[in-house]
């Protein structure tokens, strides 16, 4: 069944039952179908993944785990959750998987609760340099209940590893603070992570190594990025982004005792009943990830990202670290024009049908609501079937819109309208897949 046919059939029924909700979803479906999605944390799921979420499984409470539920009538839910676990382990070469976390942040919460007590210290990369809200922000549980210490990037512009992880500094911070947990894996870091180096540092300071691979999970499964196993004690991830599954979380480990602690931390520690319709959808997505074609997808995601970053740098933009090894890039707009901000770029590009998000760059002088950069990613456009030649076209569109925006509203309006038509034509020629 085609993706568009699935959406159309669902919307037709919804409109007959609830015209207001049906119409809003129809508008969103149209937006997704006709725009270029460059948000690095978003993707387009298959019709099968979408269908699994909209099933009778949503009717059932299944608190507990397979074979140990607190409600009757869970025989099929046990089989589905076991299948999801087995496929998750097969994807990553892990021994144990918990597929119940509702999100990546809740997966991180459970992993931290499993291995630390309130007030314990953990080490991570600060959010402004590419970390994540759940890696120690004061307003988040991770910063309220635990004590984060942060390791830096290389800030010296003359250094060969400028804006990359400073592994020597990671070691210094950890030996001084003696954290209970060392966290690696990021939301805005465009280079390969050396998990073996992190494990060596974790062992030296007596820490548990946790890898949050939410962004690069699909690349790992597809062989386009090194695996955190066997180095990490715990691996957390979302199940969307590069994995192309439903929105949700996943925790993996090779250690049986850690697995038991994680299970207790997820339920009853952090959550009640699991979302079994989402777990079924995760199982479908994991099955797709295990297909041979997924390796080619992961490889193309990286090739497209390298092509897009190269095409932007050719036009005078600066990508942090000088490019990318994975699916995303941070674009420093000031290299093109000092007046350009991430907030303006995000707004202007959306008018032209190109969706991205403003993002701080390392050591950004501008506040988070403004920023000096944008974060761009290629998972969704690769799912649509676009290749390296399309990335040059997209880079050209980005430059046309931002250049016009600097000249004023009259120039911007005309350029956005022209680019929007070209974007729509490209999307029509490369529709969302079956």
Instruction: Decide if 247 is catalytic.
Output: yes
The contacts of residue 240 (CB under 8 Å, 6+ apart) are: 41, 42, 43, 45, 246, 247, 248
Q: Give the residue among 409, 408, 399 at the shortest CA–CA distance from 374.
A: 399
- Shared domain for 282 and 300, answered yes or no, is no
Residue 130 region by backbone torsions, left for phi larger than 0, else alpha for psi between -120 and 50, else beta: left
Q: Are residues 169 and 118 located together in one domain of the fold?
A: yes
Whether 61 sits among the annotated catalytic residues: the reply is yes
Selected catalytic residue, list 241, 244, 261, 336: 241
One domain for residues 242 and 355: no
Whether 216 contacts 185, CB under 8 Å = yes
Catalytic choice (247, 282, 306, 384):
247
Q: What letter does residue 223 receive in the DSSP assignment?
A: T
Q: Based on the domain organization, do 221 and 347 belong to the same domain?
A: no
Give tens-digit pLDDT for 45-82: 999 999 999 999 999 999 999 999 999 999 999 999 99
- The residue segments making up the domain with residue 321 are 293-429
pLDDT at 137: 87
Tell me the CATH number at 370.
3.90.1150.10
Say whether 204 is catalytic.
Answer: no
Residue 120 lies in a domain: yes
Query: Does the active-site annotation cover 20?
Result: no
Q: Once rounded to an integer, what is the mean pLDDT over residues 8-12?
A: 79
Q: Are residues 273 and 306 in the same domain?
A: no
Instruction: Round to the nearest angstrom and report the end-to-end CA distance of the chain.
Output: 7
Residue 40 pLDDT grade (very low, low, confident, very high; cuts 50, 70, 90)? very high
- Same domain (yes/no): 279, 312: no
Q: Are residues 62 and 148 in the same domain?
A: yes
- Taking residues 186-210, report their average pLDDT: 97
Annotation says 238 is catalytic: yes
Q: Which of 61, 296, 318, 400 is the catalytic position?
A: 61
Q: Please, are residues 249 and 120 in contact by the beta-carbon 8 Å criterion?
A: no
Residues 301 and 280 in one domain: no
If asked whether residues 364 and 257 sit together in one domain, one would say: no
* Global pTM value: 0.95
Annotated catalytic residue: which of 6, 10, 15, 63?
A: 63
Determine whether 63 is an active site residue: yes
Domain end marker among 289, 324, 352: 289
pLDDT tens-digit map of 169-195: 999 999 999 999 999 999 999 999 999
Q: Are residues 83 and 143 in the same domain?
A: yes
- The verdict on 136 and 109 lying in the same domain is yes
Residue 370 has pLDDT above 80, yes or no: yes
Q: Do both 157 and 240 map to the same domain?
A: yes
Task: Give 95-145 pLDDT, tens digit per residue.
Answer: 999 999 999 999 999 999 999 999 999 999 988 888 888 898 898 999 899
For the cut 70, the answer to whether the pLDDT of residue 434 exceeds it is: no
Q: How many structural domains are present in the chain?
A: 2
CB proximity list for 188: less than 8 A, separation 6 or greater: 40, 130, 328, 330, 359, 375
């Amino acid at each position: 069944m085609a993706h568009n046919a699935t959406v159309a059939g669902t919307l037709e029924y919804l409109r007959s039952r609830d015209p207001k909700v049906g119409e809003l979803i129809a508008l969103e479906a149209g937006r997704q179908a006709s725009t270029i999605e460059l948000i690095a944390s978003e993707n387009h799921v298959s019709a099968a993944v979408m269908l699994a979420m909209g099933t009778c499984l949503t009717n059932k409470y299944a608190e507990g785990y397979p074979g140990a539920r607190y409600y009757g009538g869970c025989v099929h839910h046990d089989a589905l959750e076991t299948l999801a676990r087995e496929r998750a382990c097969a994807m990553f070469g892990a021994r144990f998987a918990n597929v119940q976390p509702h999100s990546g942040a809740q997966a991180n919460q459970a992993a931290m609760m499993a291995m630390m007590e309130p007030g314990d210290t953990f080490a991570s990369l600060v959010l402004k340099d590419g970390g994540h809200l759940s890696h120690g922000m004061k307003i988040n549980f991770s910063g309220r209940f635990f004590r984060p210490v942060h390791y830096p990037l290389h800030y010296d512009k003359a250094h060969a590893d400028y804006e990359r992880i400073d592994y020597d500094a990671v070691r210094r911070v950890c030996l001084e603070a003696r954290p209970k947990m060392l966290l690696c894996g990021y939301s805005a870091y465009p280079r390969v992570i050396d998990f073996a180096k992190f494990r060596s540092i974790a062992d030296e300071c007596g820490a548990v190594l946790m890898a949050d691979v939410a962004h690069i999970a699909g690349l790992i499964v597809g062989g386009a990025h090194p695996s955190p196993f066997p180095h990490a004690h715990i691996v957390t991830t979302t199940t969307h982004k590069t994995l192309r599954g439903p929105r949700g979380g996943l925790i993996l480990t090779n250690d049986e005792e850690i697995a038991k602690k994680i299970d207790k931390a997820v339920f009853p520690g952090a959550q009640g009943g699991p979302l079994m319709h989402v777990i079924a959808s995760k199982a479908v997505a994991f099955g797709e990830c295990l297909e041979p074609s997924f390796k080619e997808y992961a490889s193309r995601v990286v090739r497209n990202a390298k092509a897009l970053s190269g095409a932007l740098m050719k036009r005078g933009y600066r990508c942090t670290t000088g490019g990318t090894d994975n699916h995303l890039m941070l674009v420093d707009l000031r290299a093109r024009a000092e007046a350009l901000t991430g907030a303006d770029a995000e707004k202007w590009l959306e008018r032209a049908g190109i969706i991205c998000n403003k993002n701080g760059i390392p050591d950004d002088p501008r506040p988070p609501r403004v920023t000096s950069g944008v974060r761009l990613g290629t998972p969704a456009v690769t799912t649509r079937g676009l290749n390296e030649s399309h990335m040059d076209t997209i880079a050209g569109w980005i430059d046309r819109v931002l250049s016009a925006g600097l000249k004023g509203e009259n120039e911007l309006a005309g350029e956005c309208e022209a680019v929007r038509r070209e974007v729509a034509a490209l999307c029509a020629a490369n529709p969302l897949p079956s």
